[in-house]
Structure 1
Amino acid sequence: MRASAATGPSWGDPPEWSGGTMFGVIIRRVGARMVDGVFVMLPTVLLGWTAVPLMESVLTYQARRLLRRGGSRIVSSGLDGQVIKDSARESVVVLAKTGSAFLVALTLFAMGFWLVYDWLAHAAFGRTLGKAVFGLEVVRFDGAKPGVLCGLIRAAVLIGAPAATVLYGWAYAMAGRTDEPLVLLVMRWVILVGLLPALLPTNRALHDWLSLTRVHSTR
């Protein structure tokens, strides 16, 4: 049931589902995100496939450059064992950073595409492809579609913040820090500001609260 603008619910009001239980709607929200994730992965996989030749060329160039530089150092050192180990370690680190940069670029492309898709879909239609499949839509407290601003806030919190976390985690790892693995950073974000608030009595996650929206069941 949608509330009118004159009697719209306040922040503390519990959600009013038009169909299904709160737990059922949460499960459907997860399913909708999975459908959207598959949709977003299609152009990401295509971009990754077309970028493979470029990545191979860059890695080949890096390997040849490291081989020439390492070979010169090894020969000038008189085949010193420590110099050989250091050269090999340096080569592995440089190639690993180059490869990971491509993976991070693909990840950020996927999340950037997802952010724009999520923003525009909710702003214009109040739902993404996944929500349409699972019978869900996002509405403001007055029952209207989120619109441009609310849709942008929602997408920025839900998708933009994790994207920034991925970028931070990669930079953290490239700086040689291993005490904060990237997977823990992402999981902490998902649990603390994504899933946990959704289990509270009001059943609104952080992106719902900040964008003044709620998920409405159409079934």
Structure 2
Amino acid sequence: MANILVVDDEMGIRELLSEILGDEGHVVQLAENAQQAREARAQARPDLVLLDIWMPDTDGVTLLKEWQRDGLLTMPVIMMSGHATIDTAVEATRIGALNFLEKPIALQKLLKAVQQGLTRNIEPPRPVAPISRMSVMDTPSTPAPVAQFNQSPASFENRDFSLGNQLMPNNQHNFGNLSFDLPLREARDAFERIYFEYHLHREGGSMTRVAEKTGLERTHLYRKLKQLGVESVKYGKRGE
């Protein structure tokens, strides 16, 4: 988990980046102009900064120069812009920016750039006590329960349906909180909600792993969760 500062005057961009990075387990600070960015930098050094170039008070390149001049450019900075020229990108890189992302920002490019930036900012790992092979081998591996449907309709009458830690009593036509008496559209939405909540819980809130498990492209997954009203941030990584 990293502390990432997002500086952009467009509220929609700030909210989108905050949601994406938050789902990845990071703590996100937001600034809508250079002055707020200065204040956030003064309070604590972020692990990474996503900095927009075109802002109303002070542009991102000027702020980058300011940080470099004052010895405050001690964290990776990734520049963002939808109108910058190649010369602007080259200048920002020469000053000390790690990377440049063109808007609209592709999701995979964003995540890759952030990962590269954080990798460069990671401190050397501290030595840890060795773990004995026996202690690892003796640890039982208990797979997470997976709900299964029998093809025979009659089997529904006396079957226990379980999902994670939710266990429903016999003789109920329910799956979790899902009633089989609902109209198809409502039942489908309810099942999908339970389905995605299950995978988010199982994968510790990692949108990357949930996308792989469910076979959805991440952008589609974000839209689906928003449509279903599932808050992925509730399932963020615990204890990390």
In terms of fraction of residues, the more helix-rich structure is 1
**TM-score (ref. length: structure 1):** 0.20
